[in-house]
Structure 1
Amino acid sequence: MERTTNVYEDPANDGRCTRWRNWSGFWLLGLCNNFAYVVMLSAAHDILQTQSENSTAPIPPKLEIDYKNGSSSNNSRYDCNPVSTAAVLLADILPTLVIKLSAPFVIHKFPYGFRVLFCVAMAVASFLLVSFSSMVWMSLLGVVFASISSGLGELSFLSLTVYFDRVVLGAWSSGTGGAGVAGALLYSVLTQAGLAPRTTLLIMLLIPFLMLISYFLLLVTPPSLPQWRSMETGYTAQSTRGSEEVQHLIDESTDEDEEQEKSTQENQTSGPLSYTEKLHVVKGLLKFVFPLGVVYFAEYFINQGLMELLYFPKFFLSHAAQYRWYQTLYQVGVLVSRSSLCCVKIRKLWALSLLQVVNAVVLVFAVYYQFMPSAWLVFAIVLYEGLLGGAAYVNTFYSISKEIEDRRQREFALAAASVGDTLGIALAALTALPVHKYFCSL
């Protein structure tokens, strides 16, 4: 049976220092990887409002935007943007979905170092494009770049965890939760302090460069990690070494047939997974992917389909500020639950799915009947929503890492299973668009 730890212990370094560097490195990688994605969702309301403000087209009589207060007034009972924030979510998630559906089958051809550089380039491009755009399509293209960076980074870093001690999986999950709080809170605080969204996004260009430092300087990478060569090359090298060792045994053995069989088995377990083996692994992942997808469908339907409509005119915060703080409190809940693996482990993932669906149903009725007495109650609900979503994420990937012993299968499984949350988010965005249109027509 495979050892439960793959951490690289450099004789020149103290083992505790190595573990600390790897834990910190994966925490920062999680933070940096999800940062642009979170910021784009937090800025969704501002992105759409700014493009409406910059538009040279006349404002329809039924839609007059109050730019000073960050709200609009129309014949609807709700304070609606002409375009739902789900449009930003679609641009933020569809490229990720395409990547996660296809990349696990071919990503082993690209070394980890190259993947990190590509993710950093995409994140930088996203911040620059959204900052200097003057039209909706340019902003959405910048969001697409953030999505590519986040999607490729997530499946790559989840796969990377199999080369280290299993504790780094908790560090990665906690870091992605930290990205939610840091991104949403930093964006909310800076814009609330008076900085323009463009200036705020330009300040955040520091984050992609922190990813470079975390991966190339902070992590203590083991010799088995194919950082600058493809996975296939690495597997071939391991297979060759295994064959040489077995061949040495053959030379000393009188039973050549038996040793040749050992050589064949060694080659089979050292090479990359075949397409059939990958499909077999995918089939076993369905019991994890389906509950994760349901959780994320419900919570992102809330975030991008309902949050913008949960507006309280008499509250001390403007509509745009209320939306930003909804997102921030949601991310606080995600951070707490994604960092809880060392304290609490949840095996019944379906229970988290059920509770999140109940949340979504309650808030749909709250939007339609408008019975929520105050934004404070909504703040509490979205915090609880974040706790459920973060718990589903970290416990899903921990369960996969515990159940699959073979490192090659686990490396592929962790990347492939990441499609669960992305598929749920994409379906939530598609559902949120007509729901937003329906409510705004009332």
Structure 2
Amino acid sequence: MKMPESESEENDDAITNDRDLRNRKWIARRNLSSFWLLGLCNNYAYVIMLSAAFDILGEERAPSTTPSPITMLTVNWSVINGTTSPTINPYDCNPSSTAVILLADILPCLLIKLASPWFADLIPYDVRIGFCVILIAAGLIMVSFAKTLALTIIGVSLASLASGLGEFSFLSMATFFDENVVSTWSSGTGGAGLFGALSYAGLTSAGLSPRNTILVMLIIPVLMASSYWLVLVRVPAIQSCTWGRRQAHIQYPPLLEETEKEEEDITSIQDAEASHLPWQEKVAVLKSVLYLMIPLMVVYIAEYFINQGLYELLFFPHAWLPHQEQYRWYQVLYQTGVFISRSSVNIVHIRRTWIFALMQIANMIIFLTQLFYFYIPSIFIVFVLVLFEGLLGGAAYVNTFYIIRREVSVDKREFALGAPTVSDSIGISIAALIAVPTHTAFCNRVVVK
């Protein structure tokens, strides 16, 4: 029996729609997965460098002067108030603060983020990402084989350049995809912190040297290249951008679920002319998101002052972990908090990001006063505070970019998502500059015994 022509056409349409829906879901999953992996790879080398900072600087010590947990207090005799008294320095100090590594890890990143908003959109995404892959690989190899601190810092700086260019580029690229790629990107960057710190702590605890551990991480640039060129379904806006010219009509890929607002966005961006904004409009966009950028910067000032100025001095000599292990696990717990909060924006969304800045400042005050008065009785309390610090930092980051992705008009969104990445780098740079003299001051401090 022959099926009526109208029913046959309806069945064909249903099959086509079903196939189209499955294809759209598959593309959406690929893109979400790709952005997670790209976030992971982009920040992984950065995290590894910071996790290794204490060990890299520790190699500068002469073996005979390396303090043990038992003999770490330096005892001197000083004349105080007319009497000779024993004095101690209650800190197990490296010759240089780990903030030295932080400066090498963030200043190139800051410079590239300051420059990128004004010209990077004229460079093809493929070229930018390829450059990131090469820089990460070169940085890891140089740090692994460097015999001097100067060469190590150059290697760290190469990885930093890759991280800065990558963060700007990938967040800008999120303009052309489902808004959920912002949350998966942020989750991936949080995962870089957690898995980077864990892998470094685990491999070094298992007996691998710090520099050989860094060499193992060459898998990361390979994974980044695979995620971008093989997993991501790249859209015409990305593929057809050539040197000095943006295509006039930008197309979105299929979305998993198209809301009315998203359909309007798609229409407006497809009808828009070339998306390279004049500098006057870029300045106006920056002003419009300052209320988000400033709290994020304050969060990172407090956060990284703790991480690279105070962590290495928070030593509990009677704990079961030696000093290096304590420092490594502070990093692991901090990155755990960052990963959890950066993955949470679709569950908990907070618009008042200034709250995170106030709470992080309070956290910094607690850590700072601990180094003066040693009133925290157990390392477990510090572990909880470190975890909380990471939760605050991650939440501030993901909520900031999620708000921008949702609220900035679509024709300005590519710039608006990329430019504010400079906030965290400025905050980290200020923190590092403060941390270096703070480290020196604490390590020169003497207390009457």
- Fold conserved (TM > 0.5)? yes
Instruction: Report the CA distance between 1:202 and its aligned residue.
Output: 1.1
1:77-121 per-residue CA deviation (whole Å, 9 max, x = no partner) reads 100001000000000001111111111100012111111111111
Output the amino acid matched with 1:123. Answer: I
Instruction: Report the CA distance between 1:35 and its aligned residue.
Output: 0.1
Question: Contact 2:69–2:322 at 8 Å: present in 1 too?
Answer: yes
Aligned to 1:412: 415
1:323-350 per-residue CA deviation (whole Å, 9 max, x = no partner) reads 0000110000000000001100001111
Output the amino acid matched with 2:95. Answer: P
Aligned to 1:224: 237
Change (3 A) 1:301 1:115: same
What SS class does the counterpart of residue 52 from structure 1 fall into? coil
Counterparts of residues 271-286 of structure 1 (less than 5 Å): 271-286=275-290
Aligned to 2:136: 123
Q: Select 2:435's aligned residue among 416, 432, 437.
A: 432
Aligned to 2:315: 311
How many residues of Structure 1 are paired with residues of Structure 2 in the alignment?
397
Change (3 A) 1:16 1:380: same
Q: Select 2:246's aligned residue among 204, 214, 234.
A: 234
Instruction: Report the CA distance between 1:222 and its aligned residue.
Output: 1.8
Change (3 A) 1:318 1:70: farther
Instruction: Report the CA distance between 1:405 and its aligned residue.
Output: 1.7
1:204-255 per-residue CA deviation (whole Å, 9 max, x = no partner) reads 110110000000000011223246624x5233577xxxxxxxxxxxxxxxxx
CA distance in 2, matches of 1:203, 1:34: 16
Counterparts of residues 23-62 of structure 1 (less than 5 Å): 23-53=32-62
CA distance in 1, matches of 2:330, 2:133: 28
Instruction: Report the CA distance between 1:375 and its aligned residue.
Output: 1.3
Identical residues among aligned pairs (%): 49
CA distance in 2, matches of 1:237, 1:304: 46
Matched, 1:156 2:156: no
Aligned to 1:248: none
Change (3 A) 1:413 1:271: closer
CA distance in 2, matches of 1:415, 1:376: 38
Instruction: Report the CA distance between 1:13 and its aligned residue.
Output: 6.5
Question: Contact 1:301–1:431 at 8 Å: present in 2 too?
Answer: yes
Question: Contact 1:71–1:320 at 8 Å: present in 2 too?
Answer: no
Question: Contact 1:30–1:172 at 8 Å: present in 2 too?
Answer: yes
What SS class does the counterpart of residue 130 from structure 2 fall into? helix
Change (3 A) 1:210 1:267: closer
Question: Contact 1:42–1:187 at 8 Å: present in 2 too?
Answer: yes
Question: Contact 1:72–1:81 at 8 Å: present in 2 too?
Answer: no
CA distance in 2, matches of 1:193, 1:324: 13
1:277-328 per-residue CA deviation (whole Å, 9 max, x = no partner) reads 1111111121111000000100100000100010011111110110000011
Aligned to 1:241: none
Question: Contact 1:70–1:319 at 8 Å: present in 2 too?
Answer: no
CA distance in 2, matches of 1:301, 1:85: 11
Aligned to 1:263: none
Output the amino acid matched with 2:42. Answer: N
Aligned to 1:207: 220
Instruction: Report the CA distance between 1:51 and its aligned residue.
Output: 3.2
Aligned to 1:357: 361
Change (3 A) 1:192 1:71: farther
CA distance in 2, matches of 1:70, 1:27: 44
Instruction: Report the CA distance between 1:11 and its aligned residue.
Output: 5.4
1:38-69 per-residue CA deviation (whole Å, 9 max, x = no partner) reads 00000000000123349xxxx7xxxx214x77
CA distance in 2, matches of 1:234, 1:357: 42
Question: Contact 2:337–2:389 at 8 Å: present in 1 too?
Answer: yes
CA distance in 2, matches of 1:271, 1:341: 28
What SS class does the counterpart of residue 60 from structure 2 fall into? helix
Aligned CA RMSD, in angstroms, stands at 2.2
Matched, 1:300 2:309: no
- Normalising by structure 2, report the TM-score: 0.85
What SS class does the counterpart of residue 27 from structure 2 fall into? helix
Question: Contact 1:161–1:168 at 8 Å: present in 2 too?
Answer: yes
Output the amino acid matched with 2:245. Answer: T
Matched, 1:387 2:396: no
Q: Select 2:340's aligned residue among 336, 339, 346.
A: 336
CA distance in 2, matches of 1:71, 1:18: 59
Matched, 1:371 2:375: yes
Q: Select 2:191's aligned residue among 178, 181, 184.
A: 178
Output the amino acid matched with 1:233. Answer: R
Aligned to 1:112: 125
1:165-194 per-residue CA deviation (whole Å, 9 max, x = no partner) reads 111110000000000001000000110111
Aligned to 1:251: none
Change (3 A) 1:13 1:233: farther
- Normalising by structure 1, report the TM-score: 0.86
CA distance in 1, matches of 2:272, 2:237: 18
Instruction: Report the CA distance between 1:267 and its aligned residue.
Output: 9.4
Question: Contact 1:299–1:385 at 8 Å: present in 2 too?
Answer: yes
